[in-house]
């Protein structure tokens, strides 16, 4: 009987640890992050084209993301940036990007992330446009509840050879963007409050037989 009671206690304690860990992860995620995100970033862009001496130019992006699960979100971003070659060419562009983003450590304050997707690249006033795909990654650190600071870089390959105003060679044009910015999370507090109200009780779900 004593061995049986010890076995029941061991199983219940292990289940309690699993429940507590899962509970703490959910509370952390919704306290510091959440299901909805508004993002903004500023940085630089540089083209890989047919002309010599590409230079870094200003770049900006803003967007919205929705978490599908804590590790994965889908987002739509708008970016405004310039692509330039020294003393030869400087043109303004914009892009509309749809990405899937994977957050490697959503239950920690510091997390690397990667993303990939497709979109539309267009010059100012849509005088030229082209489909593209992009991929990238970076790091995020939670500075306070609902605020994540980020460093990110992405590579963009356009299905066009006219981004630099010159059709030359056998490959299409591409460009890089490197940015720093912030994620502003919202709607997580309501989720956290519901989790706290419905906190699981291991004692209720797995009662332990007391020794006589």
Write the pLDDT tens digit of every residue in 7-24: 545 544 444 554 577 778
φ/ψ (deg, to 5) at 122: -145, 145
20-54, pLDDT tens digit by residue? Answer: 777 788 888 988 998 999 999 999 999 987 788 99
Per-residue pLDDT band at 188 (split at 50, 70, 90)? low
Beta strand extents in the chain (DSSP E only): 36-48, 54-55, 57-69, 72-85, 89-103, 110-123, 129-144, 147-158, 174-186
pLDDT band at 173 (very low <50, low <70, confident <90, very high): confident
The predicted model scores a pTM of 0.79
pLDDT of residue 170: 52
Q: Of 92, 99, 82, whose CA–CA distance to 152 is shortest? A: 99
Give the pLDDT score at 27. Answer: 82
Compute the average pLDDT of residues 84-105: 94
What does pLDDT average to over the chain?
Answer: 83
Residue 205 to residue 71: CA distance in whole angstroms: 28
């Amino acid at each position: 009987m004593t061995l049986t009671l010890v076995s029941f206690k061991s199983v219940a304690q292990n289940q309690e640890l699993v429940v507590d860990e899962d509970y703490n992860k959910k509370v952390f995620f919704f306290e510091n992050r959440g299901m909805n995100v508004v993002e903004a970033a500023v940085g630089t862009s540089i083209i890989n084209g047919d002309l010599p001496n590409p230079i870094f130019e200003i770049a900006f992006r803003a967007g919205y993301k929705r978490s599908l699960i804590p590790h994965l979100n889908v987002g739509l971003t708008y970016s405004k940036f310039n692509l330039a070659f020294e003393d030869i060419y400087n043109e303004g562009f914009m892009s509309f990007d749809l990405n899937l983003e994977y957050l490697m450590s959503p239950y920690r304050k510091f997390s690397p992330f990667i993303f990939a997707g497709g979109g539309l690249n267009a010059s100012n006033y849509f005088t030229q446009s082209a489909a593209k795909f992009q991929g990238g990654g970076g790091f995020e650190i939670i500075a306070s509840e609902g605020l994540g600071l980020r460093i990110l870089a992405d590579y963009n390959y356009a299905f066009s050879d006219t981004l630099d105003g010159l059709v030359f060679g056998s490959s299409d044009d591409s460009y890089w963007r490197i940015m720093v910015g912030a994620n502003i999370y919202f709607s997580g507090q309501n989720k956290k409050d519901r989790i706290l109200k419905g906190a699981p009780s291991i004692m209720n779900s797995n009662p332990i037989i007391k020794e006589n």
